[in-house]
Structure 1
Amino acid sequence: MANSSAHADKNGVKALTLGALGVVFGDIGTSPLYTIKTAMDWSGGHVNAETALGMLSLIVWTLIIVTSVKYVAVIMRADNDGEGGILALMSLLGMKHGRHPAIIAIGMLGAALLFGDGAITPAISVLSALEGLKAPLPALAPYVVPLSVLVLIGLFALQPQGTERISRLFGPVMALWFVSIAVLGARGVIAHPSVLSAVDPRVGLHYLFTHGFEGFLLLGAVFLCATGAEALYADMGHFGRRPIRLAWYGLVLPSLVLVYAGQTALLVEGAATENPFFDLCPAPLQLPLVALATLATVIASQAIVTGAFSMARQAIQLGLSPRLAITQTSAQSYGQIYVGFVNWTLMALTLVLTITFRSSENLAAAFGIAVSLTMLLTTALMFIAMRSIWRWNLPLALLVGGVFLVVDVAFVAANLIKFFEGGWIPLVVAAILFFLMSCWSEGFEAMRKALERDTFPLADFVARFHGKPRVDGVAVYLTSRTDVVPVALLHNLKHNKVLHEHIVLLHVTTANTPRVNPAQRVDTTTLDDHFYAMTLNYGFMEQPNIPCALMLESISSPLTFNMMTTSFFVGRLTVTPLGHSRWRRLRIHIFQFMHRNALPATEFFQIPSGRVVELGGQVEV
C-alpha cells in the first residue's frame, strides 16, 4: 500500500511538472525569440565577439541570480497558503501588519504594472514568432503584423469559451519547445564550444564595466531573458513549489542556457544574421520551427491573460477594484475563469501596441520597464517578509535583499533609458490603474464610514422593537458590520413599515488567505428576538456564493433558509461628494462613476434576482 501511494505521488508530481511547463514557463521560455535580437539592435546592429560573450555571460547570470536564486529559491518560500504573486504577498504581510498604507500601495502598483505587462507580452511574443517567416518566406514579411493581429484576435476571442479542453496540450507542446531549442542551441555550442567561457561571471562584469554607456544600455536588453520570472511566483498556487522547481532546474534553465549560447556562437562566428534564433535552425526546418514558436507564444500569452483574470479576482476580493462579472469556465479547475472587461481591455491594448510598434525590437523598450519595476517592488515586500515572517536577522536580510535590490535597480535604470521610445506606455497604464484602484479603495472606505455614521447600535434597535408585530419569512440584509443596523433595514422599516419574523445581518469578509476551510465558512451569532448576526468568510481566490453557503448552513443551524421564502435586502446607494478640495472631489467623482457601474452585489454574490429587494438611498462622502 505504501509503495502504491508513493507511486501515485510520483505520478502526481510528474503531471504537475508537465503542467507547469505549459502555464508557468511560457513567457520566460519564449524570451530567446527576441532577447539577443533586441540586444543586437540596441548595440547598433553589429555585435563583435567580445560583446557577444559579454552579453551571454550577463544573460546566464541574470537567469541564475534573478530567476534561480531570487524567485525559485527565495521568494517562492513566501507563499500565502500555497498561493504566490505580489497581491498574495501583500495579503500575507497584511496578516502581520494589517492594511498598512505602504504595503497596500506597493501591492497595488505591482499589480497595475503586471496588468500592463499582460498587454505587452502577447504582442511581443507573437510578433517575434511570426518574424521568423522573413527568412524562409521573405515575400510574407509585409504580412507579419496583419498575421500577428489575426492570431491575437483569435487568442482573446477564445477566452469566453475557456481553455479546459485544450490546456492539457500546453504542457506537451512546451516540453517539445524546450527540447527543440535545447537541440538548436547545442548545435551552435558544438560548432563553437569557446562560447562556454561566458559562464564565468567575470566575462560579463568586464564587459559591463569597460564599455560605459553602451554596456549599460545592453543591460536593458539582457533583462528581457528574465521577463517571465514573476510568473513563476504568481502561478505557484496552481502547481506548488516542487513541480515548478523540478521543471526549472531539470529542463527550462538548461534549455535556455543552451539556446542563448547557440545564438551567441553565430555572433562569435561573425555570421551575417538579423534573427539569430531562427538562423540556428536548418533552412528546411525553419517553417515548422515558426509554427512551433507561434504555438509556444500563444500558450505563453494564454498564461498571461489567465493570470490577469486571476489577479482581477484577487483585486476585487481585497477591496482594490469594483466588482466585475466573473465566469467560471471549468467545473474541475477553479483557476479557469473569465473576466470579460479585463479580456477586451487587454485585447484593445495589445492590438494597439502590435499595430503601433510593428516589431518585437520596438516593443522591447516598453516590455522591460514594466517587469523590472514589478520585480523591484517584489524585492521591497520580500525584505519585509524576511524580517517579519521568516524572522531573519537584520544583517542577513540586508545582505540578501541588498544584492537583489542592486540588481533590480540596475535593470530598472537600464530600461528607463528607453523611456521615450515606448517605455512610458506601461508606466502610464500602471499609473492610471493605480490611480483608479486608490480612488476605489479610498472612496469605498469613506462610504462605509459614512453609512456607519448614519445608523446606530443593533442592540438598541433589537430592544426597541422587541415584541413588535412581524411578517412571515426570513429577511437577509447585506451589511459591512453586524453590530450596527444596516441602512437598508432602516429604509425598509421607514417606507414599508414591516419587520420579518427572522432577520439576518449578513457580512461577507475576505480573508488574507487564498481559501477558507469550508468548516469555517459561516460564523453565526443568535441574538435576541430572532435576530441573527452572520459572517461568511471567503479567501481572496474564492468566488462568493451566498445561497450555497446559506443552504449548507441550514443543515447545522436552527435557522432554515428556503430560497423561495427568503428575501435579500440590499442598498442601492447614490454617492454624492461633500465640499472637499478640488482634488478630493475629483477622486470621489471617479469612485462615484465606478460604484455606479460596478457589478451589483447581488449578482456578484450569485443571489437569485427574484429574491432581491433593492432600497435606494444617498450617502455623502
Structure 2
Amino acid sequence: MADHNPRLKKPLAGLTLAAIGVVFGDIGTSPLYAAKETFNPDHGIPLNTANVLGGLSAIFWSLMIVVSIKYVILIMRANNKGEGGIMALLALASSAVKDHPRWVAPIMMLGVFGASLFYGDAVLTPAISVLSAIEGLEVGTVAFKPYVVPIAVGVVIGLFALQRQGTSLLGALFGPVAVLWFLTIAALGIRGIAGAPEVLWALNPLHGLDFVTQHGWSSFVVLGSVVLAFTGAEALYEDMGHFGKRPIRLAWFGLVFPALVLNYFGQGALLITNSNALGNPFYQLAPDWALYPLVALATAATVIASQATISGTYSLTKQAIQLDYLPRMNVTQTSSKEIGQIYIRGANWVLLVVIVAAMVGFGSSTRLASAYGVAVTGTMLVTTVLTFFVIRFAWGYNLFLSVAATGFFIWVDAAFFSSTLPKIVEGGWFPLALASIVFTVMTTWHRGRAIAMARHKETGTSVESFLGSLAEHPVPRVPGTAMFMAGNADALPRALLRNVACNKVLHERVVLLTVIIREVPWVTASERIKVEALKHGFHRVIVYFGFMDRPDVSQALGHCKQHGLVLEPLQTWFLLSRATVIPAPGEGMAMWRERLFAAMARNARTAGDYFNIPSAQVIELGTKIEI
C-alpha cells in the first residue's frame, strides 16, 4: 500500500495537522447545535442543574464509548489493507465469507444499505453545519434572521462551484483553521466552566445513566439528540486510508476530544447559571466583542466540515463504481500529487441541488436536527455488524470472542438508532428517502450487471473453442494488433465475434484484455498485470486494480513488455463492445428495474473513456443484450 499512497510517507506532525482539518470537521462543529438540541424543552425534560449534568454526562460517555473505544480503538483495526469506510469494509467482509455462501447476499445488501445511508448523511451535514454557523448572526440582532438561509445557501453554492478546480489550495488552510477552531471552542468552554465548576461532576457516568432512564419516553427521545454530538464519527474510519491510524488517534486524543468536552461542559455551565441562554448556548459563551469573529470562524469550520463530506461522497462513489455498484461516471483527478483529490461532476451537482433543497425546505438548524441522526446511526450500526463478520471470518476468532468484541457496541448503536426513529415523522423521512433511492439504484445496477454477464456466458463462445475452430476454418489476417476487452477472461468478447462476422478478418495479433477490480484498495505494480500467450497469435492480458486505484489501462499496458508482449501504440487498435440493453420479461428483474438498468447503461461512461484508452485508437461495435 505504501507504494500507492504517498501521503502516508509524510511526517507524523504533517499528517496529524491534515487529519485535524479533514477528518474532524463534522464532529468538530457539532457543538454549534448538539447541546442546544439535547436540552431542547420540547423533549419534556425540565432544564435544571441535575438534568444539565445528566445531559452532559450522556454526551461525554457517548463520545467515549462510540468514538474513542468503538471507532478509534476497535473499528479502525478492521481495515482493508489500510483503507477504511463502509465500502472498503463491505469488500473485506464479503471476501471473508466467500466460503460461507449463505452470508454473501445478506452482507452485500446490508453494506449497500449502509453506504446508501451515508449519502443521506452527506446531504444533511453541510446543510445543518453551515446553517447553524450563520444563525449566530441572529444572536447579535434579529434583523439578520431573514437573511440566514440565503447567506447559508450562498456559502454552499460557492463551495460546490470551487470543486471543479480542486481543493488543494483551500485544503492547505484546513489544518491551521481547524486547529484555531478547536483551540477557540476549548477556550470558550473553559470560560464557561469557570462560572460554574460544579459542571465537572458530569464526568460521573451515573448522571448520564439517570438522564437516559429516569424520564420515561422523554429519556428515549432525548437520545436522538445526544446522537448529534458524534455525527462525524464515521469520518474517522472513512478517511483512515488518507492519513493512517496513528495521526487520527493522536489528533483525537490530543486535541479534538478534549476541546469538544471542554466546550460542551462550558455550554452546560452557562445553562446552569443562565437558563435563558438555551436559544444558542454556543455563541452566548463568547463575549460580545467576539460574536462576529466567532461567526466567521464557525462558518470557515463548517465549510471545512462540508468539504470533508463532499470529498467523502466522491471517494465512496468512486469505490462503488469500481466494485460495480454504480455505473461508470466521469471521475476527474484534480491533483497530480494527491490520489484522493477527485471530482465527479454528476455527484457534485446532484448533491448541491439536494442540499439547497434541504436548507430551504427545513429552514433552520433546529428543524434539520429533527431529520439528522437516522442516517448516521444506521450507518454506524451497519459498520459494527460488518465488523463482526470481519472478526469472525477474516480474523478467525471464535463466535464467543467475536460477539464479545462487537455485541455491546451493536446494542449501543441499536439503542441510538431506535431513538432516532421517532424523528422520521418530523423530518427523518428525508435522509431515509434519499437512502432508499440510492439503495435501489445501487442494487439494480449490481444485479443488472450480474444478469448481463450471465446472459453473455450462456450465449457466448469460450476462447478455447474459438481457437480450436480457427485451425479448421482459418480467418484471413491483417497487419497490426487488435485488443478486445472481455468482462470474463474465459469468454470470447462479443466485439471480436461481431468483427469477424462483419469484416471477415482478424489482426495478425489479437489481445484479449480483461480488467479485474479486486476487493482490496490497492494493487502493487508487481501484481498489476498478467500476460498469457495463446495459440494462433492470441494473447490473454489480465489487468488488476484495487477499488481505490485509478484504473488507467493505457499506463498498465506499459508493463506488458516485461512479460514478453511488445505493443506498438500506433499499430494497436482497441475494438470495444457498446451494448444496448433490452428489457424483456423473464427471470431477471421487475420490468421497472430492467428499464432503470437500461437507462443507466445508456448513460454510463464508455469503457474507453473510463479506463483512459486513447479515443483515436478506439473502435466501438454495437451489440444487443436482453436481460
Q: TM-score, normalised by structure 1?
A: 0.96
Q: Give the secondary-structure state (helix, strand or coil) at the position aligned to 2:577.
A: strand
Decide whether the 8 Å contact of 2:39 with 2:55 is kept in 1: no
Q: 1:339 aligns with which of 321, 340, 344?
A: 344
Amino acid aligned to 1:87: M
Q: Give the secondary-structure state (helix, strand or coil) at the position aligned to 2:483.
A: strand
Amino acid aligned to 2:504: K
The question of 1:244 aligning with 2:243 is answered no
Query: 1:3: which partner in 2?
Result: none
Q: Where does 1:87-486 land on structure 2 (aligned, <5 Å)?
A: 87-98=87-98, 100-273=104-277, 274-466=279-471, 468-486=475-493
Distance 1:147 1:45 in 2: 34
- With 446-455 and 260-269 compared, the bigger mean Cα shift is at 446-455
- Residues 561-592 of structure 1 show CA distances to partners (whole Å, capped at 9, x for unaligned) of 22221111111111112322796222111111
Distance 2:545 2:394 in 1: 23
- Residues 343-371 of structure 1 show CA distances to partners (whole Å, capped at 9, x for unaligned) of 10110010000001111110012111100
Q: Give the secondary-structure state (helix, strand or coil) at the position aligned to 1:613.
A: strand
- Residues 82-106 of structure 1 show CA distances to partners (whole Å, capped at 9, x for unaligned) of 1001110111122222381111111
Q: Give the secondary-structure state (helix, strand or coil) at the position aligned to 1:456.
A: coil
Q: Give the secondary-structure state (helix, strand or coil) at the position aligned to 2:11.
A: helix
Cα distance 1:515–1:583, how it changes in 2: closer, same or farther (>3 A)?
Answer: closer
Decide whether the 8 Å contact of 1:48 with 1:270 is kept in 2: no
Distance 2:521 2:491 in 1: 28
Amino acid aligned to 1:562: E
Distance 1:371 1:173 in 2: 26
Query: 2:504: which partner in 1?
Result: 497
Cα distance 1:80–1:581, how it changes in 2: closer, same or farther (>3 A)?
Answer: closer
Decide whether the 8 Å contact of 2:82 with 2:240 is kept in 1: yes
The question of 1:590 aligning with 2:589 is answered no
Distance 1:500 1:60 in 2: 69
Distance 1:598 1:457 in 2: 27
- Report the aligned-residue RMSD: 1.5
Decide whether the 8 Å contact of 1:439 with 1:587 is kept in 2: yes
Decide whether the 8 Å contact of 2:483 with 2:512 is kept in 1: yes
- Residues 371-413 of structure 1 show CA distances to partners (whole Å, capped at 9, x for unaligned) of 0000111111011112112333333322332211111111111
Query: 1:24: which partner in 2?
Result: 23
Decide whether the 8 Å contact of 2:38 with 2:226 is kept in 1: yes
Q: Give the secondary-structure state (helix, strand or coil) at the position aligned to 1:525.
A: strand
Query: 2:4: which partner in 1?
Result: none
Query: 1:59: which partner in 2?
Result: 59
Q: Where does 1:9-48 land on structure 2 (aligned, <5 Å)?
A: 12-41=11-40, 42-43=42-43, 47-48=47-48
Distance 2:313 2:264 in 1: 29
- Residues 427-476 of structure 1 show CA distances to partners (whole Å, capped at 9, x for unaligned) of 11111111111110111111111112222221221122245431011101
Q: Give the secondary-structure state (helix, strand or coil) at the position aligned to 1:298.
A: helix
Query: 2:619: which partner in 1?
Result: 613
Distance 1:609 1:533 in 2: 22
Q: 1:552 aligns with which of 547, 556, 559?
A: 559
Unaligned runs of 5+ in 1: 1-8
Distance 1:236 1:188 in 2: 34
- Residues 106-161 of structure 1 show CA distances to partners (whole Å, capped at 9, x for unaligned) of 11111111011111100000000011111123321210000000000001111001
Distance 2:313 2:371 in 1: 18
Distance 2:475 2:492 in 1: 17
Amino acid aligned to 2:43: S
Structure 1 residue 44 displacement after superposition: 5.7
The question of 1:518 aligning with 2:522 is answered no
Query: 1:4: which partner in 2?
Result: none
Taking only the aligned residue pairs, the percentage that are identical comes to 46
- With 567-576 and 545-554 compared, the bigger mean Cα shift is at 545-554
Q: Give the secondary-structure state (helix, strand or coil) at the position aligned to 1:209.
A: coil
Decide whether the 8 Å contact of 1:547 with 1:563 is kept in 2: no
Distance 1:573 1:397 in 2: 45
Distance 2:555 2:410 in 1: 46
Query: 2:3: which partner in 1?
Result: none
Structure 1 residue 502 displacement after superposition: 0.6
Amino acid aligned to 1:94: S
Aligned length: 612
Query: 1:578: which partner in 2?
Result: 584
Structure 1 residue 48 displacement after superposition: 1.9
- Residues 258-309 of structure 1 show CA distances to partners (whole Å, capped at 9, x for unaligned) of 0000000011113411100000000100111110000000000000000000
Distance 1:76 1:418 in 2: 30
Distance 1:140 1:267 in 2: 24
- Residues 187-211 of structure 1 show CA distances to partners (whole Å, capped at 9, x for unaligned) of 1112211111111111011122111
Decide whether the 8 Å contact of 2:22 with 2:304 is kept in 1: yes
- Residues 403-425 of structure 1 show CA distances to partners (whole Å, capped at 9, x for unaligned) of 11111111111111111110001
- Residues 215-254 of structure 1 show CA distances to partners (whole Å, capped at 9, x for unaligned) of 1111110110010000000000000000000000011000
- With 66-75 and 269-278 compared, the bigger mean Cα shift is at 269-278
Decide whether the 8 Å contact of 1:325 with 1:599 is kept in 2: yes
Q: Give the secondary-structure state (helix, strand or coil) at the position aligned to 2:337.
A: coil
Q: TM-score, normalised by structure 2?
A: 0.95
Which 4+ runs in 1 deviate beyond 6 A? Answer: none
Q: Where does 1:77-92 land on structure 2 (aligned, <5 Å)?
A: 77-92=77-92
Structure 1 residue 529 displacement after superposition: 1.5
Distance 1:386 1:10 in 2: 28
Amino acid aligned to 1:572: R
Amino acid aligned to 1:206: D
Structure 1 residue 620 displacement after superposition: 1.3
